Amino acid sequence: MNNKVNFVILISLVLLHLGESQVVSGLNYRLVVVADESGRSKNYAAIVWEELWQKSKNLTSFTPILKNNRFF
């Protein structure tokens, strides 16, 4: 049985996040991840938050996208 899963990041939209003094404090990456699971493709919406003054990114959301449901 082939359980290999291929992930393709299809679309990425980067949103600048302004802080209190209108200085960019972080970035929100909104990604559409296409997972090919044994021939059946499933789409997921992922949101990654990055604060510029930190060297880390956090995955804040990862949810399946229903067919015919527009993400953007």
Ligand X SMILES: *[C@@H]1O[C@H](CO)[C@@H](O)[C@H](O)[C@H]1NC(C)=O
Using rule CB under 6 A, residue 6 touches ligand X: no
- Give, as ranges, the residues between 32 and 51 that touch ligand X (CB under 6 A): 49-51
**Least distance in angstroms from the C-beta of 68 to ligand X:** 33
Nearest C-alpha neighbor of 14 from the set 47, 60, 53, 45: 47
On the CB side of 8, how many CA atoms lie within 13 Å of its CA? 6
Using rule CB under 6 A, residue 56 touches ligand X: yes
In the bound complex, which residue of the shown chain has the CB atom lying closest to ligand X?
Answer: 58
Pairing outcome for strands 40-51 and 57-65? antiparallel
List residues binding ligand X (CB under 6 A).
49-51, 54, 56-58
